[in-house]
Amino acid sequence: MSSQRDKVYQQPERLGMPDQGIRPAIQLRHLAWIALALTAISGGLLLLGVPDKIQLAILFAVPGLFAAMLILMYPFVGVLLYLLFEFLRPYDLIPALLYLKVPILVIGLTTAAWLLRLSKDKRFVWTNFHWIYFGFVSLIGFTIVTADNYYVAQKTFRELALFFLMFVITLHIVRTESRLNKLVWLMLMIHLYFALKGISNYAAGADVTGGQRTSGKVGTSFLADENDFALALNTMVPFAFFALTYGKRFLTRVFAFAVLMALVFGVVSSFSRGGWVGLVAALGYCLFRSKRRVLAFSFAAIIAVAMAMAAPQEYWQEISTISDTHESTAEARLQYWEAAVRIYLDYPVVGAGASNGGFLLPEYMIGIANPATQWGRAFHGTLPQVLAELGTIGIVLYLAMAFYVIRGLARVRKEALMRGEKPFLVQYSDAIIGGIIGYFASATFLSTAYYPQLWTLYLFAMLVINNLSGQPEDAKVDRHLPTEGAVATS
């Protein structure tokens, strides 16, 4: 028996395995974990005596460095983060993020990564749309000199200039359907969050205006008003609708339908009459362009029945007053538009200055008992706002951009249908045009000339027209650079 045990004990040696002996209970890796834990605890205790701003800087240093490396390696990550911070505005949830200036850092790193890539592949695309867009932004910059309140004009110029920069960068690095899908679904997820938040606010009675519950404030800046909230959702309704009708997977269609329903009821929760007009316009275009009419009208019927059952009677009463031109807010809106025309007649070339129109309203409002109360008010109309603040040049450039992308998308859509290939081009062409229609219909009674929604729709449009269609209309490459890898030659 003992000899058998000896054989078993000696078996490792017979197999040529070294005898390692007994391992110690505490190894080096255990000591490393203990040291790491002690460092974390002591570091946390030390942070208690450090000012809040420095605490934040230290806490966000590691994930910040990781994100910075990702952006430098993959600038597309910077585009995603930029849209995330521009629209979701996470500093509304975590105010401390404001001190970190994350959007500026993201833009700076993305620009650096883009320049590094540009130096390697020597490709620089510039279209006629770039010139129009650049001219519009430059005009805003010029009004810093001519405007009475140069500070707000300067702030508007900075925001639009940064978005234009990201527009140029994104057109360079987003060149596949997969990446466009990621951008669109990121936007859908952000607006789904806001839609659910607005519905929740309405259900909880968090905001009561004039005795009527509404979605109230769902964010800051361009989301601080229920009308602006409805406009934001309307721009994304066509994207959810066409993701539903073009979706290849069952789960994708189910989720797209859930997002669509949330966006629609988010608009309803806003109790915005302008939002209702934009919703009807966007959905009407979607039904008109749908490739599956029976399926599309079936979904429309489901949405209509759900709205009829869920929307309160007060909502339909509010909507019924849209056609009443003698209603108090309608008359006031006409007075603001007339004031905008008067400002335009006094500043016909470049306008009164970006974001400066409201400061001139006390001088141009007629029929108001106390005009001084109108200081800083909005024009309640996007086109009157552009006309008053940016003059003839501004309104021409503003409308030219819309005409350019709609014409380009219509061309891409027609050619894709004729070739019978790349159905995603038809999907996104229809979604973007529907979003533009929803935007302008909702913005008829709002001052949204500098909001980011339209510029994002234009970004998506140019990605489809020049990057994904395979037949860019007018993309140009610098003649002094090699044309290898370029979109097209002039």
pLDDT greater at residue 300 or residue 401:
401
Predicted local confidence at residue 353, as pLDDT: 95
Predicted local confidence at residue 374, as pLDDT: 84
Q: Tell me the longest C-alpha to C-alpha distance in the chain.
A: 115
Q: For the segment 177-187, what is each residue's pLDDT rounded down to a tens digit?
A: 999 999 999 99
For 58-67, 274-283, 312-321, which range has the lowest pLDDT when averaged over its residues? Answer: 312-321
pLDDT over 50 (residue 480): no
pLDDT greater at residue 67 or residue 263:
263
pLDDT over 60 (residue 325): no
Predicted local confidence at residue 15, as pLDDT: 47
As a whole number, the mean pLDDT across the chain is 84
For 71-75, 271-275, 313-317, which range has the lowest pLDDT when averaged over its residues? Answer: 313-317
Predicted local confidence at residue 37, as pLDDT: 78
Q: Which of 132-136, 240-244, 379-383, 478-482 has the highest mean pLDDT?
A: 132-136
Q: Which of 379, 409, 382 is nearest to 395 (CA)?
A: 382
- 166 Cβ partners below 8 Å, 6+ apart? 79, 82, 107, 110, 459
Q: How confident is the model at residue 375 (pLDDT cuts 50, 70, 90)?
A: confident
For residue 270, give both structure tokens.
Answer: 């806003």
Quick one: 165 exposed, middle or buried, by C-beta within 10 A (0-12, 13-18, 19+)? Answer: middle
Predicted local confidence at residue 34, as pLDDT: 80
pLDDT greater at residue 4 or residue 58:
58
pLDDT over 70 (residue 211): no
Predicted local confidence at residue 342, as pLDDT: 95
Q: How confident is the model at residue 165 (pLDDT cuts 50, 70, 90)?
A: very high
Could you give the C-alpha distances from 124 to 79, 119, 165, 172, in angstroms and in order?
18, 10, 13, 7
8 A C-beta contact, residue 199 and residue 269 = yes
pLDDT over 50 (residue 341): yes
pLDDT greater at residue 448 or residue 18:
448
Q: How confident is the model at residue 388 (pLDDT cuts 50, 70, 90)?
A: very high
For residue 213, give both structure tokens.
Answer: 């519950």
pLDDT greater at residue 14 or residue 231:
231
pLDDT over 60 (residue 453): yes
Predicted local confidence at residue 93, as pLDDT: 81
pLDDT over 50 (residue 478): no
Could you give the C-alpha distances from 87 to 8, 202, 205, in angstroms and in order?
69, 21, 25
pLDDT over 70 (residue 283): yes
pLDDT greater at residue 295 or residue 457:
457
Predicted local confidence at residue 81, as pLDDT: 94
Summarize the confidence of residues 374-380 as an average pLDDT.
Answer: 87
Q: Is 481 helix (H, G, I), strand (E, B) or coil?
A: coil
Predicted local confidence at residue 479, as pLDDT: 38
Predicted local confidence at residue 118, as pLDDT: 86
Summarize the confidence of residues 36-56 as an average pLDDT.
Answer: 68
**CA 384 and chain centroid, separation:** 24
Summarize the confidence of residues 315-328 as an average pLDDT.
Answer: 63
Predicted local confidence at residue 161, as pLDDT: 97
Q: How confident is the model at residue 261 (pLDDT cuts 50, 70, 90)?
A: very high
Predicted local confidence at residue 8, as pLDDT: 47
Neighbours of 42 (CB within 10 A): 10
Summarize the confidence of residues 269-275 as an average pLDDT.
Answer: 88
pLDDT greater at residue 441 or residue 216:
441
Q: How open is the CA angle 141-147-151, to the nearest 5 degrees?
A: 70
Predicted local confidence at residue 489, as pLDDT: 30
Residue 378's H or E segment, with its range, is none
For 1-15, 144-158, 441-455, which range has the lowest pLDDT when averaged over its residues? Answer: 1-15
Predicted local confidence at residue 304, as pLDDT: 77
Q: How confident is the model at residue 323 (pLDDT cuts 50, 70, 90)?
A: low
Summarize the confidence of residues 449-477 as an average pLDDT.
Answer: 84
Antiparallel, parallel or unpaired: β 125-126 and 476-477: antiparallel
Q: How far apart are CA 170 and CA 161, in angstroms?
A: 14
Predicted local confidence at residue 485, as pLDDT: 36
Length of the chain in terms of residues written:
490
pTM: 0.83
